[in-house]
Amino acid sequence: MKVALYARYSSEDQRDASIEDQLRLCRLHAEKQGWTIVDSYTDRAISGASLLRPGIQELIQDATRGRFTIVLAEAMDRLSRDQEDIAGLFKRMTFSGVRIITLSEGDVTHLHIGLKGTMNALFLKDLAEKVRRGLRGRIEDGKSGGGNSYGYDVVRQFDAKGERIRGDRTINEDEARTVRRIFTDYTRGKSSRTIAMELNRDGVPGPQGREWGPSATGSAATASSTMRCMSGGWSGTGCAT
């Protein structure tokens, strides 16, 4: 029987070795069963909350072409954690004559889809609440709760256990001068379009080295101001504005 392997990990904090570990276990199982592995599909550092993943999409397309008759994965949640998506995937595979088999659940049936799908959906909801709670706590501690904003640099440091300390920022003095200039020009009545044109004329690099646009000038000023307000001036270290 022809089998396709699928592996996924969801966080950038995990390692590529996670993918190889999953595929290694699946290969061993396929060899024991005497199955022929035709291909393997992977998605790295991508959440299982959506099927909009290149690896799973390629797998679905190849299944409809009849390349294999079995999809083998470590567990159902590697394929998807969304209840509606896993049900839809199961329906598509069934229509194409493809069985889904996992090392954890075995031969996946409608019963697995109902029970495990519900459990995975609850896991996603609980995870989202924990993430929001963690971000709020980080902000209340005077740290950044999200990505970096123009005017600040990420502070990379580690605790005593060697784990990365997240959320600390320091002012980028060169970019801070640009932020102050944007604020000053705006208070003088200049439009965001005019400010952007003048910054580009003067050769001032925009966020990520791109040219300035009307929305970028507003975003840079708003983001820097918001970060300063939420963090209380970064615990006395100052603010870009």
pLDDT tens figures, 67-115: 999 999 999 889 988 888 888 999 999 999 999 999 998 999 988 887 7
User: Residue ranges of the domains in the chain?
Assistant: 2-125, 152-236
Q: Which range, 96-100, 164-168, 202-206, has the best average confidence (pLDDT)?
A: 96-100
Sign of torsion over alpha carbons 148, 149, 154, 160: negative
The answer on pLDDT for 229 being more than 60 is no
- How do residues 3-47 score in pLDDT, each as one tens digit? 999 999 886 445 566 889 999 999 999 999 999 999 999 998 787
Q: What residues are paired with 153 via a beta bridge?
A: 170
Question: How is 52-70 classified by DSSP, letter by letter?
Answer: --HHHHHHHHHHHTTS-SE
Where are any strands of DSSP class E within 144-232?
Answer: 152-154, 157-158, 164-165, 169-171
CA distances from 95 to 51, 54, 65 (A): 18, 21, 12
> Regarding the domain delimited by 2-125, which CATH topology (the fold level of the hierarchy) does it fall under?
Rossmann fold (3.40.50)
Question: Which band of pLDDT confidence, cut at 50, 70 and 90, is reported for residue 121?
Answer: low
pTM for the whole thing?
A: 0.53
The answer on pLDDT for 65 being more than 70 is yes
CA distance 160 to 137: 20
Q: What is the pLDDT of residue 169?
A: 83
Question: Which band of pLDDT confidence, cut at 50, 70 and 90, is reported for residue 231?
Answer: very low
Q: What residues are paired with 70 via a beta bridge?
A: 3, 99
Q: What is the pLDDT of residue 26?
A: 96
